[in-house]
Amino acid sequence: MRIAVLMGGMSKEREVSLNSGTAVTQALLRKGYEAVSIDAAEDVAGKLKAVKPDLVFIALHGRYGEDGAIQGLLEVMGLPYTGSGVACSAVCMDKVLTKKLLVADGIPTAPFMVINKGLYHNSRSAIHAQIMNDLGLPVVIKPATQGSSIGTTIVREESVLAAALEEALTMSDQALAEKFIAGVEVTASVLGNEEPVVLPLIEIEAAKGFYDYEAKYTPGGSAHVIPARIAEDAAKKVSAIAKQIYVSFNCLGFSRIDFIIDSSGQPWVLEVNTIPGMTGLSLFPDAAAHVGMGYDDLVEAVVKLAVDFWKVG
């Protein structure tokens, strides 16, 4: 089977994706597949036409890769691909849409406000007042459609609220103001199609307190703690919620769902990552390793789930 691995691309997470894609390509080659990596930065349709793959492994993160855009292109080209479809990808890349669906499903997610770029520029002080009044400090400001903590600020003083919103709104037409949840950060790695399996939860300990871009990708910036140091009851709730979201949102292949568990043991969902990082040091492969599934086996499992779904071959 010939598999094209899409990597790189045009998003702010290009570098991470190049690492994910290179590792995936090497794993596929070791598993005996004919793997060809493609940088999706330009002319991706032309490159795919030249390679003629049986399946496309999408190792892209962020915009144009994780947001349904590339999935839509592949659908139109008639090429089967790994992971979630167009609608699920688009929803999960957009934290505002994600939260609206979580609320509709009755799944706990932190109280929030949506700030539209145009409205913000016309009524800054009213919006600041509303955030202070409804959510209070600290408050987390993030762009609706960005990953890897890029553009995300934990605002602890009102004086930096405006700068945080301005920054988030340079990256997305909508910003999210979210109540800060103090607690233990945990991520749930989910693998499967109709009958997904939740791999061991990983607690994330950021060396400097905030799991920002640097903490995510600098060696020593953060530690993975398995098993997560949360009560058994809380862990059960997280796994159940992760599975519920996966099925409700129609995730396919794999996804990683981020949570914070507050001091009462209540889990709050932060977001759904439909193309989790797949570098050798990433969270998802680490969770798989703890059930004895090595990196290459994980990559092959994702391929097999796509083969099943698309009935390739």
Ligand X SMILES: Nc1ncnc2c1ncn2[C@@H]1O[C@H](COP(=O)(O)OP(=O)(O)O)[C@@H](O)[C@H]1O
78 — phi, psi (to 5°)? 75, 25
Compare residues 48 and 238 and give the one whose CB is closer to ligand X: 238
CA 287 to chain centre: 15
Nearest approach in angstroms of CB 185 to ligand X is 5
CA distance 261 to 241: 12
Looking at beta carbons only, is 203 or 271 nearer to ligand X? 271
As measured in angstroms, the least distance from the Cβ of 150 to Mg ion is 11
Instruction: Kindly tell me which of 115 and 186 has the beta carbon lying closer to Mg ion.
Output: 186
Smallest separation (angstroms) from Mg ion to the CB of 27: 24
Binding site for ligand X (CB under 6 A): 110, 140, 147-149, 152, 178-181, 185, 210-211, 258, 260, 270-271
State in angstroms the smallest separation of the CB of 32 from ligand X: 34
The reply on whether position 185 binds Mg ion by CB under 5 A is no
Q: Please name the residues in contact with 145: beta carbons below 8 A apart, sequence gap of 6 or more.
A: 63, 67, 93, 94, 95, 171, 172, 174
- Give the shortest CB-188-to-ligand X separation in angstroms: 12
Task: Give catalytic residues, as residue numbers.
Answer: 13, 148, 217, 256, 258, 271, 273, 277
245 is written with which tokens?
């979201």
- Structural contact between residues 111 and 140, judged by C-beta atoms closer than 8 angstroms: no
With beta carbons less than 8 A apart as the criterion, state whether 57 and 4 touch: yes
Residue with tokens 């703690």: 225
Span from 14-22, 97-105, 194-202, 255-263 in contact with Mg ion (CB under 5 A): 255-263
Nearer to Mg ion, 13 or 258 (CB): 258
Q: Determine the Cα angle at 22 with ends 68 and 48, to 5°.
A: 50
Question: Which DSSP helix (H) or strand (E) runs through 37?
Answer: strand 34-39
Distance of alpha carbon 265 from alpha carbon 202, whole angstroms: 16
Question: Which residue's CB is nearer to ligand X, number 8 or number 143?
Answer: 143
Name which of 205, 193, 181, 192 is nearest 271 in CA terms. Answer: 181
Q: How far is the CB of 63 from Mg ion (least distance, A)?
A: 15
Q: 293, 81, 53, 41: which is closest to 189 by C-alpha?
A: 293
Amino acid at 26: Q
Closer residue to Mg ion, CB minimum distance, 39 or 167: 167
- Residue nearest Mg ion, CB atom distance: 258
Q: Which of 262, 207, 210 is nearest to 238 (CA)?
A: 262
Phi, psi of 288 (to 5 degrees): -65, -40
Options 178, 258, 286, 300; binder of Mg ion; rule CB under 5 A: 258
Which residue number places its CB atom closest to ligand X?
Answer: 211
What residues make contact with Mg ion under the rule CB under 5 A? 258
